[in-house]
């Protein structure tokens, strides 16, 4: 380029030193501008001192040794417009799909099983984080009466105290979230940490509910279904429509009502007249049996659940998905169970969910580019203070 400028200067009788200085400036400017990749770049982005290097052809925009110098503003405008025409004559792409796409910021959450154990029995805190064993005191009364005599000292009374042992298990859950993940989730308007904590708490509640119902294997921790002092289960008889099965889906109105009454019969018979049909109680059914409550009486339009409201006004019917058996239909392989639990007998609570702590946060720890946190919970399962107030049915 310098040689061409020097030759041009000699032809125009210009000073050689001035041309060399200008050529040096032009070379510096050219090196600071990358090779253009489009016609627009060639005319707008990489020009210096009113000059630009002419491309070889409309496709190849690399610099050449030819110098383009516009004679006037009209010629420069025409050249620019010619390049613009090539850009704006391309076929239309329409509206990009991004502009017609809606992103909803309200996520649909996973559907989890319910945790009905807290309706079936009352939470009862014993101890705190660090508790390993719990002793539950029970008291019973004894003695006998004798015919009165002035000289006799017979007839006695006694109190029998026992301590029922239960262990406590401490479980933990952890979560970790990084700086990059939080930033990207924030771009989508998602509170990532809040969602993680919510999920952790939901899953921990499922753990606690399961232990309240079935205990914890390998430890002296039992549940509402397997407490050592629980009454034997009532095995429901087979249905007339299907003699090989006792499932409620095969039974008629009278057969289902008879099964429910058998649960009341077990409790009332052994509760020493402390229980009756009007008292507050919970009937926990698996979903497969719950649907059978709409079975109608053949002599009227009354359904099972309507009859129960009239016959047992204190009873609340709830679903317990954990009580549903396996197979198709549900309960045909391993049996489904149900439970009738009275809230109180003689002013005392019948069933408890024992815990030491339900949510113990161990704080947030800062790592290299993330955070970690741990929570723990200490539970001892379900405890039947008055086992006579609980009846379990099998095969519904």
Q: What is the pLDDT of residue 151?
A: 84
If one counts every other C-beta atom within 10 angstroms of the C-beta of residue 326, the result is 11
Q: Count Cα atoms within 13 angstroms, Cβ side, for 217.
A: 0
User: What domains can you pick out in the chain, each with its CATH number?
Assistant: 2-88 (no CATH), 118-124+171-394 (3.30.2320.10)
* Residues contacting 81, CB < 8 A, separation 6+: none
Residue 29's pLDDT band (cuts 50, 70, 90): low
Residues 260-311 have pLDDT tens digits of 999 999 999 999 889 999 999 999 999 999 999 999 998 888 999 999 999 9
Considering only residues 88 and 193, tell me which one the structure prediction assigns the higher pLDDT: 193
Residues 57-103 have pLDDT tens digits of 444 444 444 555 666 677 767 766 665 555 566 677 778 888 888 88
What is the rounded distance in angstroms from the CA atom of residue 52 to the CA atom of residue 1?
A: 12
Residues 205-264 have pLDDT tens digits of 999 999 999 999 999 999 999 999 999 999 999 999 999 999 999 999 999 999 999 999
Q: What is the pLDDT of residue 48?
A: 40
Residue whose entry in the numeric block shows the structure tokens 């107030």: 389
Mean pLDDT of the chain: 84
Residues 103-130 have pLDDT tens digits of 877 778 887 888 999 999 999 999 999 9
Measured at the CA of 294, the angle between CA 289 and CA 296, to 5 degrees, comes to 125
CA–CA distance from 25 to each of 15, 18, 28, 266 (Å)?
Answer: 16, 11, 5, 106
């Amino acid at each position: 380029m310098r040689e061409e400028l020097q030759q041009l200067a000699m032809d125009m009788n210009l000073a050689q030193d001035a041309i060399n200085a200008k050529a040096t400036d032009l070379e510096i400017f050219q090196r600071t501008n990358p090779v253009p990749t489009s016609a627009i770049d060639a005319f707008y982005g990489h020009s210096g001192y009113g000059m630009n290097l002419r491309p070889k052809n409309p496709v190849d925009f690399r610099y050449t040794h030819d110098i383009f110098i516009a004679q006037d503003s009209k010629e420069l405008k025409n050249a620019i417009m010619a390049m613009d025409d090539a850009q704006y004559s391309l076929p239309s792409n329409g509206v990009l799909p991004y502009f017609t796409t809606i992103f909803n910021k309200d996520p649909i959450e996973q559907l989890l099983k319910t945790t009905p154990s807290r309706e079936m029995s009352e939470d009862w805190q014993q101890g705190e984080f660090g508790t390993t064993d719990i002793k539950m005191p029970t008291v019973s009364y004894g003695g006998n009466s004798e015919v009165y005599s002035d000289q006799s000292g017979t007839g006695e009374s006694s109190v029998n105290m026992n301590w029922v042992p239960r262990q406590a298990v401490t479980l933990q859950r952890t979560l970790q979230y990084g700086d990059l993940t939080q930033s990207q989730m924030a771009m989508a308007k998602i509170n990532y940490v809040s969602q993680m904590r919510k999920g952790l708490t939901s899953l921990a509640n499922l753990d606690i509910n399961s232990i309240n119902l079935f205990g914890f294997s390998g430890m002296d921790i039992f549940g509402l279904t397997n407490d050592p002092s629980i009454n034997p289960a009532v095995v429901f008889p087979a249905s007339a429509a299907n003699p090989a099965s006792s499932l409620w889906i095969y039974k008629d109105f009278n057969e289902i009502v008879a099964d429910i009454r058998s649960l009341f019969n077990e409790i009332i018979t052994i509760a020493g007249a402390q229980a009756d049909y009007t008292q507050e109680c919970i009937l926990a059914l698996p979903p497969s049996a719950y649907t059978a409550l709409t079975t109608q009486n053949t002599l009227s339009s009354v359904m099972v659940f309507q009859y129960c409201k009239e016959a047992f006004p204190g009873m609340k019917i709830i679903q317990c998905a954990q009580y549903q058996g396996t197979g198709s239909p549900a309960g045909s392989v391993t049996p489904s169970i149900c439970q009738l639990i009275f809230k109180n007998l003689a002013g005392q609570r019948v069933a408890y969910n024992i815990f030491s702590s339900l949510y113990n946060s161990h704080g947030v720890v800062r790592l290299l580019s993330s955070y970690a946190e741990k929570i723990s919970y200490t539970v001892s399962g379900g405890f039947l203070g008055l086992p006579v107030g609980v009846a379990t049915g099998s095969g519904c």
